[in-house]
């Protein structure tokens, strides 16, 4: 089946899975805190209600339901934005950014020079010079 009906039957399951992944990413990767949890959850609720209104529109063909369809998808951005506003910065990590930069520079240096150190790639040691 082609056209609008075909695209709805194919894309709605993919969109539903994407909504669940968006909920998890908002909650776990930007928090986890109460704002990111409820922002992600309400985002998913609004999006799935838009899908429900779309299915209802397909059954009864009342054009006014486009207000509810569009309103639910636009309304989903409100809790999404609140979750983004309340995202937390990541905590301190065990890896110093200076050490990461040294490792990357050492790796690039080893690729350019063809030499390897004890770790298997060109690192910055006493015997290694970038000049």
Indicate the length of the chain as a whole number.
131
pLDDT (0 to 100) of residue 2: 65
Question: Per the domain annotation, does 43 fall within a domain?
Answer: yes
Structure-token pair, residue 131: 């000049």
Same domain? For 23 and 79 the reply is: yes
Picking from 34, 41, 3, 38, the residue whose alpha carbon sits closest to that of residue 20 is 41
pLDDT (0 to 100) of residue 98: 53
Domain count, the chain: 2
Question: Per the domain annotation, does 71 fall within a domain?
Answer: yes
Same domain? For 52 and 102 the reply is: no
CA angle 57, 44, 88 (to 5 degrees): 155
Across the chain, the runs of DSSP E, i.e. the strands, are none
Question: Per the domain annotation, does 102 fall within a domain?
Answer: yes
pLDDT (0 to 100) of residue 11: 78
Same domain? For 24 and 81 the reply is: yes
Question: Per the domain annotation, does 90 fall within a domain?
Answer: no
**Range of the structural domain that residue 105 is part of:** 96-131
Contact 123, 102 (CB under 8 A): yes
Per-residue pLDDT of the chain (131 residues; tens, 9 = 90+): 567 667 767 777 887 888 888 888 888 888 788 888 899 899 999 988 998 898 898 889 888 899 999 999 999 999 999 989 988 766 555 445 455 556 666 666 766 676 655 555 444 455 544 44
What is the model's pTM? 0.59
pLDDT (0 to 100) of residue 89: 64
Same domain? For 81 and 100 the reply is: no
């Amino acid at each position: 089946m082609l056209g609008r009906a075909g695209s709805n039957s194919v894309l709605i399951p993919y969109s539903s899975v994407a909504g669940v992944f968006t909920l998890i990413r908002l909650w776990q990767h930007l928090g986890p805190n109460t704002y990111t949890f409820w922002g992600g959850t309400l985002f998913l609720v609004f999006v799935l209600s838009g899908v429900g209104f779309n299915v209802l529109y397909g059954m009864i063909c009342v054009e006014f339901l486009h207000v509810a369809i569009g309103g639910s998808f636009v309304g989903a951005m409100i809790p999404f934005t609140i979750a983004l506003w309340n995202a937390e910065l990541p905590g301190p990590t065990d890896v110093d950014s200076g050490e990461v930069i040294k490792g990357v520079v050492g790796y690039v240096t080893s690729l350019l020079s063809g030499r390897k150190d004890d770790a298997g790639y060109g690192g910055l040691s006493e015997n290694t010079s970038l000049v």
